[in-house]
């Protein structure tokens, strides 16, 4: 009987019901159905979890009773830059935007970063719903998937607490707090809750006797047990390994006691004997994997073999590879793309531009190319590693240079590919942990026919403000898509860069 040592069973784990991915996770942000004596929830299962969503009748003009029982969420700038659709994610509850937030959004609207895009999207949306001379100082129905309302609030008036006086300065954060406090005074009998990704602002709000919560629409519940894509099976009988080598495949139930996950990878071991396999949903069997090469790159361990197989598998158009620095995730993705160069029209390599100081590119000297080159350098470094395996006179070395010159292989910042067709291309997105779930979804939904998308990154190395291991887009993607026949994931753990790099990744 096999036993798993991966920390993840080879079956679809059924977690406790989760809240809807479009509704903030916190308890107070979970809408309650109105005009009912008992709370009823309708559940919708998916391959991994069961989402829970209140049954709410949408109305453009909520009744007086509904208004009194619904909450008012005051959104901070950080929330709207994180998710431009946040205002529509609170179902029957009302949403208020402090006028100071609009001022801050105005400073973000110019540029090519993701936050610039989100600022522009929200400003356009607010302009659209406030058409026909509607005054945004009054409640306006959101309609659409939300039955709540929205308005812009100011810090004017009020005789209660004053954040400017309490904290000794008139910062924008304090103006936002005051706007929420004034709303709390006017919306008598209703819960007014500040929603912010800024921890310090939430602490200040609570100090002013104002409820405050994080915005958590898509937070991964148990990051320590995030799907890894691979399992080690310690067998008590060597027969399955022998049959796997003899026939190339074995029935999955010969070694598995639970349903297998689609495109999952297995390392079968018995004493000194071992074999690598992947589960094929079509045949219901474990298929033998042989070590392979891709444009001269040879996997150094089992998990790298799994990752390269996923990249080269034509049946899997979406792949994620996670791991710490030095595990080879980007190198394997790039080598696999080069190996398949004749099967695709173009190879795109991209990564989000996230300066360590989080300052906009406009602060840097030079033209656009000189501004972005430092952030693209890691991709060029991996390309150089592959090139330098060959002599300068070799066909493989020259081929890479030709692909770069002809733009068959293109390295660009992620923000600069918007509007381009993603048909018949391999698209590698490095450092994907610095993307939000909304950005990940936007990229995937633009994939055309014959396109393969590969996300790589380290979910514990976040450079973007207001993202962490549980809320970044890469973790979200791995958590949601496991067991899809169009998706494969491999989590890399063993570093292969150098002994020094391994020590740094482990101990520092």
Render pLDDT for 437-460 as a digit per residue (tens, 0 to 9).
888 988 898 888 899 999 999 999
Find which of 8-12, 234-238, 361-365 is predicted with most confidence, using mean pLDDT: 234-238
Residue 263 gets the label, from left (phi > 0), alpha (psi -120 to 50) or beta, of: left
Q: Which of 318, 447, 443, 331 shows the shortest CA–CA distance to 378?
A: 331
CATH 3.40.50.1010 positions along the chain are 22-213
CATH, domain range 22-213: 3.40.50.1010
Dihedral angle at the C-alpha atoms of 373, 376, 380, 492, nearest 10 degrees?
A: 160
Q: Which CATH class is domain 301-507?
A: alpha beta
What is the DSSP secondary structure assignment for residue 21, as one 8-state letter? T
CATH 3.40.50.300 positions along the chain are 301-507
More confident site: 285 or 412: 285
Q: Where are the alpha helices (DSSP H) in 344-452?
A: 368-387, 395-405, 437-444
pLDDT at 507: 65
The first and second tokens of residue 169, run together, are 């300065």
Share of the chain above pLDDT 90, in %: 54
| 3-state DSSP assignment of residue 472 | coil
Question: Is residue 433 over pLDDT 50?
Answer: yes
221 vs 165: CA distance, rounded Å: 39
Residue entry with tokens 């018949």: 424
Confidence of residue 118 (pLDDT cuts 50, 70, 90): confident
CB 2 within 8 A of CB 256: yes
415 vs 439: CA distance, rounded Å: 10
Confidence of residue 362 (pLDDT cuts 50, 70, 90): very low
> Strands, DSSP E only, in 83-148?
94-98, 140-141
Q: How far apart are the first and last CA of the chain?
A: 39
Share of the chain above pLDDT 70, in %: 77
Helices and strands in the chain: count of H runs, count of E runs: 15, 21
Measure the CA angle with vertex 447, ends 445 and 448; round to 5°: 125
From edge to edge, which strands make up the β-sheet containing 18-19? Answer: 18-19, 50-54, 41-45
| Average pLDDT rounded to a whole number, residues 403-428 | 83
pLDDT at 283: 93
Question: Is residue 296 over pLDDT 50?
Answer: yes
| Average pLDDT rounded to a whole number, residues 393-415 | 88
CB 7 within 8 A of CB 228: yes
| 3-state DSSP assignment of residue 68 | helix
426 vs 348: CA distance, rounded Å: 6
Question: Is residue 357 over pLDDT 90?
Answer: no
């Amino acid at each position: 009987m096999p036993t798993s040592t991966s920390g993840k069973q080879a079956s679809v784990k059924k977690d406790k019901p989760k809240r809807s991915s479009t509704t903030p996770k916190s308890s107070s942000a979970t809408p309650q159905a109105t005009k009912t004596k008992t709370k009823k929830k309708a559940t919708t299962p998916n391959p991994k979890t069961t989402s829970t969503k209140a049954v709410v009748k949408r109305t453009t003009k909520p009744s007086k009773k509904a208004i009194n029982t619904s909450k008012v969420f005051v959104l901070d700038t950080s929330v709207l830059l994180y998710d431009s659709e946040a205002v529509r994610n609170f179902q029957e509850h009302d949403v208020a935007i402090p006028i100071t937030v609009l001022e801050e959004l105005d400073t973000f609207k110019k540029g090519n970063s993701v936050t610039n895009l989100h600022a522009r999207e929200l400003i356009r949306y607010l302009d659209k719903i406030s058409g026909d001379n509607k005054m945004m100082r009054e409640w306006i129905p959101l309609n659409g998937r939300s039955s709540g309302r929205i308005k812009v609030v100011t810090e004017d008036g009020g005789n209660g607490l004053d954040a400017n006086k309490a904290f000794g300065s008139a910062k924008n954060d304090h103006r936002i707090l005051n706007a929420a406090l004034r709303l709390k005074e006017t919306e008598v009998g209703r819960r007014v809750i500040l929603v912010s990704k800024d921890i310090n602002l939430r602490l200040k709000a609570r100090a002013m006797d104002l409820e405050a919560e994080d915005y958590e629409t898509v937070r991964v519940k148990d990051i320590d047990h995030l799907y890894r894509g691979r399992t080690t099976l310690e067998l008590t009988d060597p027969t399955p390994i022998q049959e796997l080598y003899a026939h190339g495949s074995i029935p999955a139930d010969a070694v598995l006691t639970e349903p297998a996950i689609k495109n999952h990878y297995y390392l079968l071991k018995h004493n000194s004997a071992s074999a690598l396999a992947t589960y094929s949903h079509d045949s219901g069997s474990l298929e033998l994997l042989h070590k392979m090469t891709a444009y001269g790159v040879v996997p150094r361990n089992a998990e790298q073999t799994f990752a390269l197989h996923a990249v080269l598998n034509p049946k899997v158009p979406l792949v994620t590879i996670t791991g710490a620095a030095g595990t080879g995730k980007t190198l394997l993705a790039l080598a696999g793309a080069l190996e398949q160069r004749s099967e695709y029209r173009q190879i795109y390599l991209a990564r989000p531009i996230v300066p360590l100081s989080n300052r906009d590119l406009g602060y840097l000297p030079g033209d656009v190319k000189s501004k972005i080159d430092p952030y693209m350098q890691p991709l060029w470094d991996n390309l150089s590693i592959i090139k330098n395996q060959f002599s300068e006179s070799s066909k493989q070395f020259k081929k890479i240079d030709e692909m770069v010159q002809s733009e068959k292989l293109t390295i660009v910042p992620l923000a600069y590919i918007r509007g381009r067709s993603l048909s018949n291309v391999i698209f590698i997105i490095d450092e994907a942990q610095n993307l939000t779930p909304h950005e990940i979804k936007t990229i995937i939904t633009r994939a055309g026919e014959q396109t393969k998308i590969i996300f790589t990154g380290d979910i514990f190395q976040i450079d973007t403000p207001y993202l962490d291991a549980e809320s970044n887009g890469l973790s979200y993607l791995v958590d949601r898509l496991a067991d899809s026949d169009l998706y494969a994931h491999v989590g890399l753990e063993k570093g292969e860069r150098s002994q020094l790099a391994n020590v740094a990744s482990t101990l520092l």
